[in-house]
Structure 1
């Protein structure tokens, strides 16, 4: 019986991934508002009810699609952090996050929809995976605290202001280019934009020279974000199964 059970679990996993792939393709093509569960079922070649066997609501499906893309960005960010203590700097973190977001068709499409769409998805994410949303903020707070303690971050600005500036800088550069292009405003290439983000964050909150403490704190920063990576991965699996069996 064990081989049969394993096969059944593998089939469910593959089917859930096929549904996520179909949803991602449609969201990129049409935008998340226009996509229906019926559309996803047709693209994935499954019944509508089968989609609901894995994902309890359309919001859960969309949030899981986005989490899957974010997981890839976190994995690449961690690889960079493991390679060099230079990459634990918030400025390099911001640069790498921005470039990874641009590499993802689904995340590019979400940001291209504008702030209203981002607000909808953010509210959906809070409803679907509220605890995980808080864990992301907790990971940033923990990392920032460690970086302050080891001399990487300046301490002349309030802690929460630094977190705000970091997030707003990355978000602003994601949202602004499509809007500015519509009014014929100059928009630099992606590498230049990533460099501007890193430069802005570094000047605002970091010490000019990377201190020796950065080498000591590097493994702890990696540990913080590795835990976040696992939580995102586990949440994706939980949403894919939706505690039901087919």
Structure 2
């Protein structure tokens, strides 16, 4: 069953700073406070003074870490993207079989759903993005390390290793896949007009897995060595995307490599 934006934010793994451990590092308390306020009010609904008050620090302390509210908000979106990539990387590293489409696509969807700022970027949520919707850094995050560019990079790897069908062009597969996945992101972020349960779909991840298997995967079993090789190549691709992201978004290496 899909959730609307309000429900997704309520279930997002955000730390409520007002009841958090005040002994946490100041930088993390500031991030947690900004995250809570951004999810609650959107980018226009709070100021640096509000962040400082919720984090239990002075305004000047916030400016020691970020030069402006804008840079702090961009940091929050970037960290969500980094956390998403880290989850995907860790999952594939732990189990190479995750890289096959019927496992990888549900993993990507589940991971994105845990990060409301990634959902906002994918669906262009005006309420949560506000005037950041057209911000060049948001565009850069979305095009460098977001779920769509990762999927675009993965398809050629899967084709090369025989893990998906090749009777359609790579471009056709990528476009069809993105249309399906983007549609699900929007369905997750909004209360849909059509309830999937109307069609007997109780678990959208299972549905995505089944459809991915039918549409993309070959009818014959794939060699386990091919799966291992594809996973290894994908992990290198993720590492490259992470490094590129850090160079473009964090030239001062706020997030350690």
Higher helix proportion: 1
Say yes or no: does 1:146 pair with 2:127: no
Task: Please report the TM-score for the alignment, with normalisation by the length of structure 2.
Answer: 0.68
Cα 1:100–1:23, aligned 2, differ >3 Å: closer, same or farther? same
* Equivalent residues in 2 for 1:39-58, closer than 5 Å: 39-58=50-69
RMSD between superposed Cα atoms in Å: 3.7
Q: How does 1:42-121 map to 2 (within 5 A)?
A: 42-104=53-115, 107=118, 110=120, 115-117=125-127, 121=132
Q: Kindly tell me: are residues 60 and 149 of structure 1, through their superposed partners in 2, closer, same or farther at Cα, counting changes over 3 Å? A: same
How many residue pairs end up in the alignment? Answer: 225
What's the offset of the Cα at 1:233? Answer: 6.3
**Structure-2 separation of matches of 1:201 and 1:120:** 36
Q: Spell out, residue by residue over 1:79-131, the C-alpha distance to the aligned partner (whole angstroms, 9 max, x if none).
A: 221233321123422211211222345556x379864356955532x336738
Q: Secondary structure at the match of 1:180?
A: coil
> Is 1:218 the counterpart of 2:231 in the alignment?
yes
Q: Is the 8 Å Cα contact of residues 154 and 205 (structure 1) preserved in structure 2?
A: yes
Q: Cα offset for 1:23?
A: 1.0
Q: 2:48 aligns with which of 27, 37, 62?
A: 37
Q: Which runs of 5+ in 2 are unaligned?
A: 1-23
Instruction: Give the TM-score of the pair, scaled to structure 1.
Output: 0.70
Query: Which sections of structure 1, spanning at least 5 residues, go unmatched?
Result: 1-12, 242-246
Summarize the Cα distance change of 1:28–1:119 in structure 2 as closer, same or farther, 3 Å threshold: closer
TM-superposed CA distance for 1:26, in Å, is: 1.2
- The corresponding residue for 2:191 is 180
Contact 1:148 1:155 in 2 (8 A): yes
